């Protein structure tokens, strides 16, 4: 039996520096390459995606990302893994749709139906959501693209409010219109198109996915798609633990293990803990020069693993909140 490959923290940090384009000598020449190097960029906070690109692309300007998102349309925004908004290559949309976004869309759909029925807005939430979704798609077919407020004016079925966490300080009114758009986007029917805000403010227009990309979304089988996504993640973030991958995907342990088996992942030793890596990616990356990078909150590198002590040491509590979300690294 072949010996299990061992990776120490220094070797893993070298990979991080090089493969995530953070060491100065390994920065990307364009924003699409930088995004591909970490699979996707977190975009829940509108400024994060620009600052994450700035940390990885030589000579980056905000207009570079705008061009990729809105002119070339080589990057797209999608709600997917862990119900998080990400930016990734448009060529990856079909894979992400099947591997992660469809699951999120189903969760959003069921939650919205339950809430509108509980609020007494619609007795049959399933029928209402189907009609509201169809009317929204018809409106976008005529408008081309529109802001959520414009869509509510055009589609009366988008009106209505539920109450989130009644009686709680963090609760309040929750309009159903934006939630319908979220459900449609997670399902791949619509996309965030141009932005009416500045680079650090999100006021998206919405449009039909097929209109924006010039093609329909054609997701592969779920297991095939998940394996493709896992292969990309391991190339960028491996070696790692199975728990890291399960957390990043936001799926079940069974599905995670099935995907690892599909890609033929190798078992490795992570300085005393079991881990996995691609079988053709077990050699050391060459050393990198000393480096430092200032990263925004929710950066894909700091948010890439669930188990973080190997690169944070004793500093985890200073960087991550109790929910496991990272703040800025400075």
166 pLDDT above the threshold of 80? no
pLDDT above 80 (res 302): yes
Show the tokens assigned to 93: 């949309």
pLDDT computed for residue 145 by the predictor: 96
| Unique residue bearing structure tokens 């079991």 | 274
Residue 228 has pLDDT above 60, yes or no: yes
CATH number at residue 105: 1.10.10
Please report the pLDDT score of residue 167 as a whole number: 62
What is the mean pLDDT of the segment spanning 107-126?
Answer: 95
The answer as to whether 88 is a domain residue is no
Q: How confident is the model at residue 243 (pLDDT cuts 50, 70, 90)?
A: very high
How far is residue 219's CA from residue 230's CA, in Å, rounded to a whole number? 16
Strands in 5-7's sheet, in edge-to-edge order, are: 5-7, 266-270, 273-277
Q: In the prediction, which pLDDT does 169 show?
A: 63
According to the model, what pLDDT value does residue 2 have? 59
Give the integer Cα–Cα distance in Å for 229 and 221: 12
State yes or no: cis peptide before 52, omega within 30 of 0.
no
- Asked if 71 and 79 count as a contact pair (C-beta separation under 8 A), the reply is no
Cα distance between the two ends of the chain = 46
Q: Model confidence over 186-217: pLDDT tens digits?
A: 999 999 999 999 999 999 999 999 999 999 99
For the CA atoms of 283, 17, 62, 74, what is the dihedral angle to 10 degrees? Answer: 10
- Using the predicted structure, report yes or no on whether residue 322 has a pLDDT greater than 90: no
If we measure between CA atoms, which residue out of 58, 97, 59 comes closest to residue 80?
Answer: 97
At residue 1, does pLDDT exceed 50?
Answer: no
Confirm whether 173 is domain-assigned: yes
Asked if residue 188 is part of any domain, the answer here is: yes
pLDDT number for residue 21 = 98
Residue count (the chain): 330
DSSP code per residue over 66-81: HIIIIIS--EEEEE-G
Q: What is the 3-state secondary structure (H, E, C) of 224-271?
A: HHHHHHHHHHHHHHCCECHHHHHHHHCCCHHHHHHHHHHHCCEEEEEC
Q: Residue 26 has which token pair?
A: 């390994």
- Written as one string, the DSSP assignment of 19-80 is HTT-SGGG-BSSHHHHHHHTS-EE-SSHHHHHHHHHTTBTT--HHHHHIIIIIS--EEEEE-
Query: Tokens 């929750």 appear where?
Result: 174
Find where tokens 């758009």 sit: 181
Residue 8 has pLDDT above 70, yes or no: yes
Residue 118 in any domain: the answer is: yes
Q: Which of 174, 192, 172 is nearest to 182 (CA)?
A: 192
For tokens 């995530």, name the residue: 20
For residue 109, tell me if it sits in a domain: yes
Confidence (pLDDT) at 170: 58
Domain that holds residue 205: 93-213
Contacts of 244 (CB under 8 A, 6+ apart): 237, 304, 305, 306, 307
* Mean confidence (pLDDT) of the chain: 94
Model pLDDT for residues 78-96, shown as the tens digit of each residue: 999 999 999 999 999 999 9
Q: Is residue 152 part of a domain?
A: yes
- Do the domain assignments include residue 142? yes
Please state the domain count of the chain: 1
Reading the block at residue 100, the tokens are 């992660």
Task: Give the angle subtended at the CA of 148 by the CAs of 144 and 152, to the nearest 5°.
Answer: 95
> What are the E-state strand segments in 155-240?
161-164, 172-175, 190-195, 204-208
| pLDDT at residue 171, rounded to an integer | 61
Assess contact for 57 and 28: CB atoms under 8 A: yes
Q: Binning pLDDT at 50, 70 and 90, where does residue 35 land?
A: very high
Q: What average pLDDT does this structure show over 18-22?
A: 97
Task: Answer yes or no: is 187 within a domain.
Answer: yes
Band the pLDDT of 165: cuts 50, 70, 90: low
How far lies 109's CA from each of 2, 102, 129, 291, in Å?
A: 48, 10, 8, 45
89-93, 155-159, 270-274, 321-325, range with the lowest pLDDT: 321-325
């Amino acid at each position: 039996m072949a010996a299990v490959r061992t990776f120490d923290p220094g070797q893993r940090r070298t990979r991080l520096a090089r493969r995530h384009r953070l060491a100065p000598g390994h920065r990307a020449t364009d924003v699409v390459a930088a995004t591909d190097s970490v699979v996707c960029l977190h975009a829940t906070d509108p400024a994060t995606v620009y600052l994450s690109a700035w940390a990885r692309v030589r000579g980056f300007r905000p207009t570079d990302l705008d061009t990729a998102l809105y002119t070339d349309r080589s990057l797209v925004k999608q709600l997917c893994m862990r119900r998080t908004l990400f930016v990734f290559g448009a060529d990856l949309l079909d894979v992400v749709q099947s591997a992660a976004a469809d699951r999120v869309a189903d969760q959003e759909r069921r939650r919205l139906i339950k809430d509108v029925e509980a609020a007494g807005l619609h007795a049959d939430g399933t029928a209402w959501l189907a009609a509201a979704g169809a009317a929204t798609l018809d409106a976008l077919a005529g408008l081309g693209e529109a802001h959520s407020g414009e869509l509510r004016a055009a589609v009366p079925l988008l009106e209505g409010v539920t109450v989130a966490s009644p009686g709680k300080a963090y609760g309040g009114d929750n309009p159903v219109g934006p939630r319908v758009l979220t459900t449609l986007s997670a399902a791949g029917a619509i996309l965030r198109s141009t932005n009416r805000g500045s680079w650090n403010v999100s006021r998206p227009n919405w449009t039909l996915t097929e209109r924006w990309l010039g093609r329909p979304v054609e997701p592969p089988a779920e297991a095939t798609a998940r394996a493709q996504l896992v292969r990309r993640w391991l190339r960028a973030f491996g070696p790692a633990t199975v728990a890291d991958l399960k957390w990043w995907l936001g799926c079940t342990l069974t599905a995670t293990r099935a995907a690892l088996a599909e890609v033929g992942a190798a078992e490795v030793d992570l300085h005393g803990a079991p881990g996995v890596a691609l079988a053709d990616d077990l050699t050391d990356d060459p050393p990198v020069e000393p480096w430092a990078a200032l990263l925004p909150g929710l950066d894909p590198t700091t948010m890439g693993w669930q188990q973080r002590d190997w690169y944070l040491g004793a500093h985890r509590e200073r960087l991550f909140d109790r929910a496991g979300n990272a703040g800025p690294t400075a």
